[in-house]
Amino acid sequence: MWRSVTEAVDLTPADASVVCRLGIDEASFRRGLRFHTAFVDLDRRRLLDLVPERTKRSVTDWVAARPAVWRTRIAEVVIDPFDAYRQGVAEALPQVTLIVDKFHAVRLANQALDAVRRRLQREAGRRRSRQSRSVAPSRWGRALFSSRRVLVKARERLTSKERDRLERALDADPAGDLRAAWGLKERFRDWYLAASPQEARAGLLRWYREVERSGIAEFVELARTVAAWEPELLAHFDSGATNGPTEGITNLIKVVKRQGFGYHNFDNFRLRVLHRCG
269 and 158 inside one domain: no
90 and 118 inside one domain: no
Give dist(CA 113, CA 216) in Å, integer.
10
* 203 in a structural domain: yes
For residues 189 and 86, the answer to whether their CB atoms sit within 8 Å is no
* 46 in a structural domain: yes
273 and 262 inside one domain: yes
172-205: b (≥16 Cβ within 10 Å) or e: bbeeebbebbbebbeebbebeebeeeeebeebbe
Helical packing angle, 197-214 and 217-228, nearest 10°: 150
108 and 223 inside one domain: yes
Mean pLDDT of 15-20: 75
Bigger pLDDT: 157 vs 141: 157
* pLDDT at residue 135, as a whole number: 41
Report whether pLDDT(130) > 50: no
* 86 in a structural domain: yes
Q: Could you report the per-residue pLDDT of 91-104, keeping only the tens digit for each?
A: 999 999 999 999 99
* 235 in a structural domain: no
For residues 243 and 103, the answer to whether their CB atoms sit within 8 Å is yes
Q: Could you report the per-residue pLDDT of 70-92, keeping only the tens digit for each?
A: 999 999 999 999 999 999 999 99
Report whether pLDDT(15) > 60: no
Give dist(CA 237, CA 202) in Å, integer.
13
195 and 252 inside one domain: no
162 and 50 inside one domain: no
226 and 117 inside one domain: yes
CATH number of the CATH domain containing 85: 3.30.420.10
46 and 93 inside one domain: yes
108 and 211 inside one domain: yes
Domain ends where: 208, 230, 252?
230
Show Cβ contacts of residue 114 under 8 Å, excluding neighbours closer than 6 positions.
Answer: 148, 151, 152
| Count of helix runs (H) and strand runs (E) in the chain | 16, 5
What are the contacts of 70-77 at 24+ separation with CB within 8 A?
70/15, 70/16, 70/18, 70/19, 73/18, 73/19, 73/20, 74/19, 74/20, 74/21, 74/22, 75/20, 75/21, 76/20, 76/21, 76/22, 76/42, 76/239, 76/241, 77/21, 77/22, 77/23, 77/24
59 and 113 inside one domain: no
225 and 247 inside one domain: no
Q: Could you report the per-residue pLDDT of 203-231, keeping only the tens digit for each?
A: 999 999 999 999 999 999 999 999 999 99
* 112 in a structural domain: yes
110 and 172 inside one domain: yes
Give dist(CA 61, CA 193) in Å, integer.
37
Rounding to the nearest 10 degrees, give the CA dihedral for residues 79, 83, 86, 88.
Answer: -120
* 236 in a structural domain: no
How many structural domains compose the chain? 2
* pLDDT at residue 181, as a whole number: 96
- Its domain, for residue 16, covers 2-101+242-277
Domain ends where: 230, 250, 265?
230
On average, the pLDDT of the chain sits at 87
